[in-house]
Amino acid sequence: MAVTSADTRQIASEERAIRGFLTGKGHDPDVFSVAFHLYRTTQEAIARAEVEVLRPAGITWVSYVTLMALWIRGASEVRELARGQVVSKPAVVKSLHALERAGYVRRVRSKTDRRLVSVELKPRGQALIRRLQPRIHRREHVLTGQLTLAEKRTLARLLRKLDSRSAVRRDR
């Protein structure tokens, strides 16, 4: 679904209204504009991925990211999966219940520390992620299609800068 000029005008109008309201209350309008577009773009990208790709496959965004992490890194502890996704352990555990019931993952209790549980990708889960990942990547091309290669690299660099600052605050 392409963004129309009416959509662009509506987004700009929303931004101006909120920006004007918050600026009058002492908020930094430039910080607001960055956050507004960052949140809006992220929410839109995840929502579209869920509607167009993930829900038809019976999984959520958290489940998808969990499967991707297991596919890339191999077996991982629940806390590592939560930290990598910047979500709570309960959110990951909830998605793991569904993934386990569907036969995509298995949990394995540590032989040395019974409190620790690692999660492994089963062949059925690997087949699912191999099928879904190219479709998600096509969505990513749609999301970034208006940007030049230089703009993509600049945006990625700036987002890494923001993400690294967030990671420092999360670790405190």
How many domains does the chain contain in total?
1
- In a domain, residue 148? The reply is no
What sign for the dihedral angle of Cα 113, 168, 93, 61?
negative
Residue 45, domain member (yes or no): yes
> What's the angle, vertex CA 82, arms to CA 78 and CA 87, rounded to 5?
145
Considering only CA atoms, which of 98, 106, 107 is closest in space to residue 122? 106
Measure Cα distances from 31 to 35, 66, 119 in Å. 6, 31, 39
Q: Is residue 33 part of a domain?
A: yes
Question: Does residue 27 fall inside a structural domain?
Answer: yes
User: What are the tens digits of pLDDT across the range 142-162?
Assistant: 999 999 999 999 999 999 998
Q: What is the pLDDT of residue 82?
A: 87
Q: For residues 90 and 100, what is the distance between their CA atoms, to the nearest angstrom?
A: 15
Q: Greater confidence, 145 or 1?
A: 145
Which residues are CB-neighbours of 46 under 8 A, at least 6 positions away?
61
Three-class DSSP category at 107: strand
Using one digit for the tens of pLDDT, what is the confidence trace for 45-77?
Answer: 999 999 999 999 999 999 999 999 999 999 999
CA nearest to 81, candidates 100, 103, 96, 99? 96
126: tokens are 């690997």
Return the higher-pLDDT residue of 40 and 16. 40
- Report the chain's C-alpha Rg in angstroms: 19
Residue 166 placed within a domain: no
- What is the pairing mode between strands 105-109 and 76-77? unpaired
Per-residue pLDDT tens digits for 96-127: 999 999 999 999 988 888 888 899 999 999 99
As a whole number, the mean pLDDT across the chain is 86
Domain that holds residue 2: 1-57
* Residues 165, 168, 172: CA angle, nearest 5 degrees: 145
Residue 20, token pair as written in the block = 């004007």
The CA distances from residue 63 to 35, 103, 132, 142, 155, in Å, are 26, 13, 12, 22, 26
Q: Is residue 171 part of a domain?
A: no
Where are the extended beta strands (E) located within the chain? 76-77, 105-109, 117-121
Q: Is residue 73 part of a domain?
A: no
d(CA 147, CA 52): 22
Q: Is residue 165 part of a domain?
A: no
